[in-house]
Amino acid sequence: MEYSLVCHNLYALSASPVKKKLALLGIMFLLWAYMLYSCVGYCATMPSLVVDSYRVKEPEHASRRTESGGRADLMSKLLPRPQGWVDLESDYDEPSLRTASRDLSANDVDGDRGDEWEDQARVDQRSPEPSSLSSFSNGSGSKKLPQAIIIGVKKGGTRALLEFLRVHPDIRAVGAEPHFFDRNYDNGLEWYRDLMPKTLEGQITMEKTPSYFVTREAPARISAMSRDTKVIVVVRDPVTRAISDYTQTLSKKPDIPSFESLTFKNRTTGLIDTSWSAIQIGIYAKHLDNWLQYFPMEQILFVSGERLISDPAGELGRVQDFLGLKRIITDKHFYFNQTKGFPCLKKAEGSSKPHCLGKTKGRVHPNIDPEVVQRLRDFYRPFNMKFYQMTGHNFGWD
């Protein structure tokens, strides 16, 4: 009897530490599982918390967002990665004003636009996969109507400007030209909004369609969407622009008449044919009159197409100021490509290689009779003078 009692006590004593260890291990396992579960939930929400915190701390105006380079670098990693450089050719044909106009490439409009969207799809397919942080931040955003639009002009440098701007982490832009306010307005604003990329609070949504500048209905339609919309116009020497426009058409239709024969209604009298869209687009003062009926001058920025080539960082600085953004895009982003004659990005976000515009940019212009060029300069001079007065800026075309 005594032996069995002693054995029982010894067994109880020996079993007790095992039970304690098992119980302790069980508790530790439960705590570990709980911590893991909590960590997963926290990590999933951390990006938005970090970004939201950054957005709250960031003032609305760029002039106060000049903390330190290290902080800017850190936040650029946390924010969604801006879209990489896109080698797109925007070879659509500009629809002219709703008045009588002669456009040699009118039949190619839809085809060119289809090519543009197809090019964009190919670029999207080969774009690098965004990080999980960028994906989450981008997924947590929402599609908004654009707060800024590049409205013109055709062959002025709009594609280069848009691609340069897409380097900025606070700019999100749709790649292909929506043509909403000239061709697709009947589709409605929700259709238009759905084309836009997702943005976070504080980011700017942009698009560019150069034909808006010469579309009579566009200013009223954009104003009806939002009177606060900022519009950007890239302008270029109208004579050079017309020749570039003709060169683009010639590359697709080699059998078109010569530039000289299209320029004049009557070569003998020297009367310029303003019904030809290549000529009509360059009468900037006439088109600007239409826009000033709906937008004050302080909401319109004019970018020099010439300076966009000779000093891209300087022009981009003006654009960033106009949009209320910190000057992140600077000289360090560019190098000049001697072969193409254009500035290119040294390194686009998400890529380790330099990037330039597509091969169709920088076409060699045909030789034009100097007398024809001079007559065009004489024709445009009074319109240029008026445009300089309206904008308060002499672009030096004369």
What is the predicted pLDDT for the residue at 354? 61
What is the predicted pLDDT for the residue at 7? 46
| 236 belongs to an annotated ligand binding site | yes
What is the predicted pLDDT for the residue at 266? 87
User: Do 82 and 204 touch, CB atoms closer than 8 A?
Assistant: no
User: Quick one: residue 96, left, alpha or beta (phi over 0 = left, psi -120 to 50 = alpha)?
Assistant: beta
| 175 belongs to an annotated ligand binding site | no
User: Do 150 and 176 touch, CB atoms closer than 8 A?
Assistant: no
| 377 belongs to an annotated ligand binding site | no
d(CA 196, CA 151): 16
What is the predicted pLDDT for the residue at 203? 97
Q: Which residues of 124-151 are buried (b: 16+ CB within 10 A; e: fewer)?
A: eeeeeeeeebbebbbeebeebbbbbbbb
Q: Per-residue confidence of the chain (398 residues) as pLDDT tens digits? A: 444 544 444 444 445 677 777 878 888 888 877 777 655 444 443 333 333 433 434 444 444 444 444 444 444 444 444 443 333 333 334 333 334 456 564 434 333 443 343 344 333 433 333 433 444 444 579 999 999 999 999 999 999 999 999 999 999 999 899 999 999 999 999 999 999 999 999 999 999 999 999 999 999 999 999 999 999 999 999 999 999 999 999 999 999 999 999 999 988 888 999 999 999 999 999 999 999 999 999 999 999 999 999 999 999 999 999 999 999 999 898 877 777 677 888 865 555 566 676 555 556 878 999 999 999 999 999 999 999 999 999 999 98
What is the predicted pLDDT for the residue at 353? 61
- Residue whose entry in the numeric block shows the structure tokens 């306010």: 181
**DSSP state for residue 151 in the 8-state scheme:** E
155 is known as an active-site residue: yes
> Which spans in the chain are helix H?
2-57, 69-78, 109-126, 132-139, 158-165, 189-195, 218-225, 238-252, 259-263, 277-280, 284-292, 305-310, 312-322, 370-391
User: Do 145 and 191 touch, CB atoms closer than 8 A?
Assistant: no
What is the predicted pLDDT for the residue at 359? 56
The one-letter code for the residue type at 123 is V
Out of 20, 21, 77, 155, the active site residue is: 155
What is the predicted pLDDT for the residue at 55? 40
Q: Which CATH class is domain 142-238+280-362?
A: alpha beta
| 157 belongs to an annotated ligand binding site | yes
* Residue 251: Cβ within 10 Å count: 11
| 392 belongs to an annotated ligand binding site | no
What single string gives the DSSP state of each residue in 295-343? Answer: S-GGGEEEEEHHHHHH-HHHHHHHHHHHTT------GGGEEEETTTTEE
What is the predicted pLDDT for the residue at 343? 84
User: Domain map of the chain by residue range?
Assistant: 142-238+280-362
| 244 belongs to an annotated ligand binding site | yes
What is the predicted pLDDT for the residue at 54? 36
| 188 belongs to an annotated ligand binding site | no
| 158 belongs to an annotated ligand binding site | yes
| 14 belongs to an annotated ligand binding site | no
What is the predicted pLDDT for the residue at 366? 85
